[in-house]
Structure formats: structure tokens, C-alpha cells
Amino acid sequence: LTGLPTRALLIDRGDQLLARTEGADPLVGVLVARVDGLGEIIDAHGRGAGDALLVSLADRLRRAVDPDAVVARTAGDAFAVLHVTDGATGTVEDFTDLADRVRVALGAPHAVADLSLAVTTSIGVSIRPAGDTAAEQLVQEAEAAAARAAAMGPGRTELYDHDLRRQARRRLDQASALRRAIDDDELVVVWQAALPLQ
């Protein structure tokens, strides 16, 4: 629909890009932008309007980032940008500035059919030294940060940190333990009458 690479192709191109930067010392980062409320837009205005909005978003995203960046559509409501800084002079601010540019570019009203649609995006960013990671790990981390941004309210940017990974593992461990307890009939329901108000 958008003419952008898929998530799998983003990872493949990202790994190729990282291989070419070996020996240099740039920072590499992935930015994932999730369109807030895309489902509601489609419900209200139809699939055609939703598709036209996605095409407009993809076009703006391409124009908002550096020509060397790899841009992809990674999910129904999500786009990603893989960006490598210029040599060892890159900073975290390069990526937060990129997130700001993307937010402004995608947030301006889109002329879709007879509509003017303005959207917000929840953005997650993962940044590492180029020799310290693979593209798939960066994408997963940026997706986790974008999910946290969306959970905290529309239009936010969150940087990935290792606490996110610990939280995700804890949730998975708790879910697995609960499923085992249900399968093994280890849960007991206890009812306690409410105390009367004094």
C-alpha cells in the first residue's frame, strides 16, 4: 500500500547497513512511530480514508528523514526509521531531534478525500553503538518503547531503557505462572464479606 519495506526487509537492510559501518563508531537507532487512534479513524471514515491516510503518512515520513535512513512500515499502524549518525560525533539528541521532526511532519493535517485528518503519534526510540547490536534487537526495543509511549498517552516519545525489558519479562513470567496454576488447578477462590461502614 505505502511502497515502503516491511519489518523483515527493514531488519535485513539494517543489518547490511550495520555491516558497512563496522570499524567506524557511529550511533545507530531505530525510531518506531505508532499512529494513535488509527482504528477509530477507519471506523469513522472507512477503510479507503484509512488507506489514503497511511499513504500520506508514508510520503511525509520519507521526506522528513535523511536520504540515507531506512524507512519501513512495520505494522498496520506503525512506521519505523533506522538512522545511523555521521561517525563518532552522533549524540542522543540527534535521535530526539529526529523524533520531533517526524512528529511534526506526521501531525500536520492530511487532506484525505474531502477530509482534513490530523493525527498524533506515539514514538519509541532505541539507540546503541553500531558495533553493539543487530537491527532486529533495535526494532524490538523501539517497538517496546513505542508501546510504553502509547500507554502513557498520545503524542509522546519514549527512549528504550533496560527497565522496559525487565518489565516485559516480569509480565511474561507472571502470565506463564498464572496459566500453569490454572492448568494444575492450583487457584482457590476466597470470598470475604465487605465490612459495614462505621
CA separation for the pair 77, 62 (Å, rounded): 16
User: Nine-digit cell at 133?
Assistant: 547490536
170 burial level (CB within 10 Å; 0-12, 13-18, 19+): exposed
CA separation for the pair 45, 43 (Å, rounded): 6
Task: Encode pLDDT of 17-37 as tens digits.
Answer: 888 776 667 888 999 999 999
Mean pLDDT taken over the chain: 87
Q: In sequence order, what are the beta bridge partners of 72?
A: 80
Closest CA to 60 of 106, 4, 6, 123: 106
Length of the chain (residues): 198
Helices (H), the chain: 7-20, 38-45, 47-64, 92-107, 135-151, 162-183
CA separation for the pair 37, 45 (Å, rounded): 12
Q: Which pLDDT belongs to residue 155? A: 92
Q: Which pLDDT belongs to residue 176? A: 74
* Whether 106 contacts 61, CB under 8 Å: yes
Q: Which pLDDT belongs to residue 115? A: 92
Neighbours of 142 (CB within 10 A): 28
Where is mean pLDDT largest: 87-101, 134-148, 184-198? 134-148
Q: In sequence order, what are the beta bridge partners of 110?
A: 117
User: Nine-digit cell at 75?
Assistant: 505494522
Q: Which pLDDT belongs to residue 189? A: 81
Task: Encode pLDDT of 129-147 as tens digits.
Answer: 877 778 999 999 999 999 9
Which H or E element spans position 35?
Answer: strand 27-35
Contacts of 132 (CB under 8 A, 6+ apart): none
Q: Whole-prediction pTM value?
A: 0.80
pLDDT at 9 over 80: yes
CA separation for the pair 138, 127 (Å, rounded): 7
